[in-house]
Amino acid sequence: MNTYYRIIAFDLDGTFLRDDKSIPEENLRALEAAAARGIEPVPATGRIFRGVPPQLKELSCIRYYILSNGAAVYDSREDRILYRGDVPLALALRCYEYLDTLPVIYDCYQNEQGWITRSMLEAAPPYFALEPEVLKMLYGLRKPVEDLNETLRQRGEGLQKLQVFFKPEDEELRQATIREIPRRFPELTATTSVKNNIEINSISAGKGKALRGLCAALGIDPARSVAFGDGSNDSEMLRMAGLGVAMANASDAVKREADLVTESNEACGVAKSIWRLLGENA
């Protein structure tokens, strides 16, 4: 039985979840087995807490959540934020001015609420031809307003994450924009987690930074952490963890950041790796 590792951080979409956003029962059982051996399981997602699947929230062994790509670390037991890395409002508005020159739609996360301009939400379906399950999440987690930028000005607060969506035929533009965002705005990072998006965060955020911060808060050596991921928003976390594990369905660039590659999200790669780490069979 391997008890060296003390924390397991795992991405959700494309990693812990199947492509249809369901959770394999084997993954849940593996988390509970790890927790029974004193290992802290920590979802590390681009989602806000409201967007975390209820099956995970119902597990008593999960207390901490890395949210919005590391813009927040949440202690669910004490209902408090341990860390925040917001995008300042003025910077977010300047970024939106640039995005308004592109054929995209965009939204944001701010204090556990998703916001989107109503006309962009109404125009959303063609952008999600390759990601119909993500479109369902968009409808469920975003509050439509007449003008997102004006709403944000009135609220006067920073954002945890900006999210941009592209049509399938604009993949070349999406890749170019991923490179252009940090060039135009050095205070921001641009990553991706699904086939049609870009996720924009402050450089003070990041799943890796959040994982290191959580380890420090819990008195755990980061070398004793394991991280699972598949997208470029997971790359920093895979590098910073003591053991970074990429999914078989991850891109080659993400796999290069990892220490090893496990089975795909469809084949319960997270669970299979946890069982191997514990020295057990499923």
Per-residue pLDDT reduced to its tens digit, 147-172: 999 999 999 999 999 999 999 999 99
| Residue 178 clears pLDDT 80, i.e. is over it | yes
Say yes or no to pLDDT of 1 above 50: no
Which pLDDT score is estimated for 170?
Answer: 98
Q: Which residue has the tokens 């950041």?
A: 257
Question: Distance between CA 222 and CA 220 in Å, rounded?
Answer: 6
Per-residue pLDDT tens over the stretch 53-81: 999 999 999 999 999 999 999 999 999 99
- How does pLDDT run across 84-132, given as a tens digit for each residue? 999 999 999 999 999 999 999 999 999 989 999 999 999 999 999 999 9
CA 239 to chain centre: 16
CA 35, CA 32: separation in Å to the nearest integer?
A: 5
List the Cα angle 40/193/250 in 5-degree steps: 80
For 13, 52, 116, 124, the CA distances from 147, given in Å and listed in that order, are: 29, 27, 8, 16
Q: Cite the DSSP H helix spans in the chain.
A: 25-36, 54-57, 89-99, 118-122, 132-141, 148-155, 171-184, 207-218, 235-240, 252-257, 269-278
Report how far residue 191's alpha carbon sits from residue 208's, in angstroms, rounded to the nearest whole number: 13
Predicted local confidence at residue 143, as pLDDT: 96
Judged on CB neighbours under 10 Å (0-12, 13-18, 19+), 100 is: exposed
Q: Which domains does the chain have, with CATH numbers?
A: 7-85+205-278 (3.40.50.1000), 89-202 (3.30.1240.10)
Calculate the CA 6 to chain-centre distance. Answer: 21
Output phi, psi for 268, to 5 deg.
60, 45
Nearest one of 1, 4, 73 to 225, comparing CA atoms: 4
Reference 11, options 52, 50, 39; nearest CA is 52
- How far apart are alpha carbons 36 and 97 in whole angstroms? 49
pLDDT higher than threshold 50 for residue 279: yes
